[in-house]
């Protein structure tokens, strides 16, 4: 159950509503969105109380939802959510948004070269990790703050947006200064303190699906961000663990079709981690767009074999150019651009 508050209510009117709810033992969480204030009912809500609340002077309307992810569900909002960033870019509209770049920011010259190639290929957003979640603690962990600086400057030079990963609550403030979109990695999909804190930010969050996660767990993770008041959430399917040893993960495109029915949030696909092999990325990118994805997140490198991280799945800049051209054809075929 969601209680929508009227726009122009006074503090006194709101206090009276909270008193009524407390008296009727109804627990709620207040959500302050950019353009809307609401109360999410977390437990019981007897029919009698419902009528009383509906008639309250502070209440606009009440919405019933049968999904646990109340704010992410289609019953809360039927129109697709358009996530705007970097001035004029929007994810979730008819245009397919391409985010591409290296797995990690390796040096100033590497990211500058990549940004130039990305722009030429038709990419909208430059990706690059400065803080890397590596399975092996002895592997390259990212350049940190200086990496963010290189990334932002390179993107600015070529008029690209920026997406980079945030691993830790303590780094949010720093990363917010450099990025247009926060990336939450697969391994952090259930890092609830991180999700809660990002819920208080105003920049978009691209939330990757945990490699083990069900759709319900994925949407509930998104709900953590939404309930904090940040309505700019982008879901990202990046492959799950299956029994198949030939690819790094299995890109689950069922997720795209299913989530499109279940949520108003935009969905992006990361075919690079999904397959783990550069030669398969182009095919799966096209499949993702055909399945209804709103964008792609792709790992590319000017010298893939020497990529410091995820070298096997990094595609060359020539391959990326080809990929973007072919993806655009598929996009047009399915009524997108």
**Residues in touch with Mn ion (CB under 5 A):** 103, 310
Q: Is there binding between residue 273 and ligand PEP (CB under 6 A)?
A: yes
Q: Which does 185 bind (CB under 5 to 8 A by kind): ligand PEP, Mn ion, none?
A: ligand PEP
At residue 139, the 3 state secondary structure works out as coil
141: left (phi over 0), alpha (psi -120 to 50) or beta: alpha
Nearest approach in angstroms of CB 272 to Mn ion is: 7
State the Cα–Cα distance between residues 190 and 218, nearest whole angstrom.
8
Nearest approach in angstroms of CB 95 to ligand PEP is: 22
Q: Which of residues 81-120 bind ligand PEP (CB under 6 A)?
A: 103
Q: Is there binding between residue 304 and ligand PEP (CB under 6 A)?
A: no
Q: Is the separation of the CB atoms in 263 and 219 below 8 Å? A: yes
Q: Is there binding between residue 186 and ligand PEP (CB under 6 A)?
A: yes
**In this complex, which beta carbon is closest to ligand PEP, that of residue 185 or of residue 295?**
185
Structure tokens at 42: 């977390």
How many residues contact ligand PEP, by CB under 6 A?
10
Q: Is the separation of the CB atoms in 183 and 209 below 8 Å? A: no
CA angle 23, 55, 78 (to 5 degrees): 105
**In this complex, which beta carbon is closest to ligand PEP, that of residue 93 or of residue 133?**
133
Q: Is the separation of the CB atoms in 262 and 291 below 8 Å? A: no
At residue 184, the 3 state secondary structure works out as strand
Q: Which does 208 bind (CB under 5 to 8 A by kind): Mn ion, ligand PEP, none?
A: ligand PEP
Among 56, 117, 152, 238, binds ligand PEP (CB under 6 A): 238
Q: How far is CA 70 from the centre of its chain?
A: 17
Q: Is there binding between residue 311 and ligand PEP (CB under 6 A)?
A: no
Q: Is the separation of the CB atoms in 263 and 80 below 8 Å? A: no
Position with the least CB separation from ligand PEP: 185
State the Cα–Cα distance between residues 204 and 231, nearest whole angstrom.
8
Nearest approach in angstroms of CB 309 to ligand PEP is: 7
Nearest approach in angstroms of CB 239 to Mn ion is: 11
Nearest approach in angstroms of CB 116 to ligand PEP is: 21
Nearest approach in angstroms of CB 127 to ligand PEP is: 7
Structure tokens at 264: 């108003």
Measured in degrees and rounded to the nearest 5, phi and psi for residue 159 equal: 55, 50
Q: Which does 238 bind (CB under 5 to 8 A by kind): Mn ion, ligand PEP, none?
A: ligand PEP
Which class for 318: exposed (0-12), middle (13-18), buried (19 or more C-beta within 10 A)?
exposed
Nearest approach in angstroms of CB 107 to ligand PEP is: 17
Q: Is there binding between residue 121 and ligand PEP (CB under 6 A)?
A: no
The contact set with ligand PEP (CB under 6 A) reads 103, 129, 133, 185-187, 208, 238, 270, 273
């Amino acid at each position: 159950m969601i209680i929508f508050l009227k726009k122009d209510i006074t503090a006194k009117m709101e206090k009276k509503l909270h008193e009524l709810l407390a008296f009727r033992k109804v627990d709620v969480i207040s959500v302050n969105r950019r353009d809307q204030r609401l109360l999410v009912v977390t437990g019981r809500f007897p029919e009698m109380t419902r009528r009383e609340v509906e008639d309250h002077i502070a209440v606009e309307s009440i919405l019933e939802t049968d999904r646990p992810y109340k704010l992410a569900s289609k019953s809360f909002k039927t129109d697709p959510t358009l996530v705007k960033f970097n001035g004029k870019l929007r994810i979730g509209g008819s245009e397919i948004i391409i985010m591409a770049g290296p797995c990690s920011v390796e040096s100033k010259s590497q990211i500058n070269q990549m940004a130039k190639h990305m722009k030429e290929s038709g990419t909208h957003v430059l990706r690059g990790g400065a803080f890397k979640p590596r399975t092996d603690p002895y592997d390259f962990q990212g350049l940190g703050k200086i990496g963010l600086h290189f990334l932002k400057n390179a993107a600015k030079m070529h008029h690209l947006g920026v997406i980079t990963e945030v691993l830790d609550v303590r780094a949010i403030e720093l990363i917010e200064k450099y990025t247009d979109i926060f990336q939450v990695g697969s391994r952090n999909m259930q890092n609830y303190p991180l999700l809660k804190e990002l819920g208080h930010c105003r920049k978009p969050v691209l939330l990757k699906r945990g490699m083990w996660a069900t759709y319900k767990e994925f949407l509930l993770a998104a709900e953590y961000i939404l309930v904090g008041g940040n309505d700019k959430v982008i879901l990202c399917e990046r492959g799950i663990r299956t029994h198949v040893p030939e690819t790094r993960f299995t890109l689950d495109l069922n997720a795209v079709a299913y989530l499109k029915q279940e949520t108003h949030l935009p969905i992006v696909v990361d075919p690079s981690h999904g397959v783990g092999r550069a030669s398969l990325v182009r095919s799966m990118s096209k499949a993702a767009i055909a399945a209804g994805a709103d964008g792609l997140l792709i790992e590319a490198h000017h010298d893939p074999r020497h990529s410091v991280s995820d070298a096997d799945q990094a595609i060359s800049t020539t391959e990326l150019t080809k990929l973007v051209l072919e993806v655009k054809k598929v996009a047009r075929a399915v009524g997108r651009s």
